[in-house]
Structure 1
Amino acid sequence: MKTIKNLLFSCISMSVMLISCNQKTAEPNTLSDKEQAEGWVLLFDGKSLDRWHVYNQTENNPAWVIKDGAIYCDPNNQSNKGDLVSNESYQNYEFQFDWKLEKEGNSGIFINVQEKPGIDATWQSGPEYQLLEDSHADFAIPQKKAGCLYTFLPQQNFVNTKSKGEWNRSKIIQKDGKVTFMLNDKITAEMDFNSDKWKNMVQQSHFKDFPEFGKNTSGKIALQDWSRGVSFRNLKIKTR
Structure 2
Amino acid sequence: MYTKITGFIIALLVMVSCKSEKKDETDSWRTKKAAVENATHNQLLDVEKEQGWELLFDGETMDGWHLYNNPNADSVWEVVDGELHSNANNESLTAGDLVSDKSYSNYELLLEWKISGNGNSGIFINVQELPQVPTAWQSGPEYQILGADHMDYDVPEKRPGCLYVFLPQQNTVEVKQGEWNKTRIKQVDGKIEFYLNGVLTAEEDLSSPKWEQKIAETHFSKYPEFGKTTEGKIALQYWYFETWFRNIKIREL
Tell me the alpha carbon deviations over residues 133-173 of structure 1, each in whole angstroms, 9 at most, x when there is no partner: 11111012000010010011000011101132x10000000
Give unpaired runs (5+ residues) of structure 1. 1-11
Tell me the alpha carbon deviations over residues 33-75 of structure 1, each in whole angstroms, 9 at most, x when there is no partner: 1101101000001000011000011225331111121100011
Partners of 2:60 and 2:44 lie apart in 1 by 15
Partners of 2:38 and 2:138 lie apart in 1 by 38
Aligned residue identity for 2:150: H
Partners of 1:28 and 1:158 lie apart in 2 by 28
In structure 2, what is the equivalent of residue 50 of structure 1?
63
Partners of 1:39 and 1:187 lie apart in 2 by 23
In structure 2, what is the equivalent of residue 6 of structure 1?
none
Which of 131, 140, 153 aligns to 1:126? It is 140
CA contact under 8 A between 1:109 and 1:224: conserved in structure 2?
yes
Task: Give the TM-score normalised by the residue count of structure 2.
Answer: 0.84
In structure 1, what is the equivalent of residue 113 of structure 2?
99
In structure 2, what is the equivalent of residue 28 of structure 1?
41
Give unpaired runs (5+ residues) of structure 2. 1-22
> What count of residue pairs does the alignment treat as equivalent?
223
Partners of 1:138 and 1:23 lie apart in 2 by 31
In structure 1, what is the equivalent of residue 7 of structure 2?
none
Q: List structure 1 segments (4+ residues) > 2 angstroms apart after TM superposition.
A: 22-26
Return the offset for 1:23. 7.9
In structure 2, what is the equivalent of residue 73 of structure 1?
86
Aligned residue identity for 1:149: L
Change (3 A) 1:124 1:170: same
Partners of 1:178 and 1:25 lie apart in 2 by 37
Q: In terms of mean alpha carbon deviation, does 123-132 or 75-84 score higher?
A: 75-84
Aligned residue identity for 2:103: S
Partners of 1:102 and 1:109 lie apart in 2 by 16
Partners of 2:74 and 2:237 lie apart in 1 by 13
DSSP-derived class of the 2:129 partner: coil
Task: Give the TM-score normalised by the residue count of structure 1.
Answer: 0.89
- Percent sequence identity over matched residues? 49
Partners of 1:50 and 1:231 lie apart in 2 by 17
Which of 172, 177, 181 aligns to 2:190? It is 177
Q: In terms of mean alpha carbon deviation, does 169-178 or 58-67 score higher?
A: 58-67
Bigger radius of gyration? 2
Partners of 1:93 and 1:26 lie apart in 2 by 26
CA contact under 8 A between 1:61 and 1:82: conserved in structure 2?
no
In structure 1, what is the equivalent of residue 161 of structure 2?
147
Matches within 5 A, 1:1-240: 26-78=39-91, 79-164=93-178, 166-240=179-253
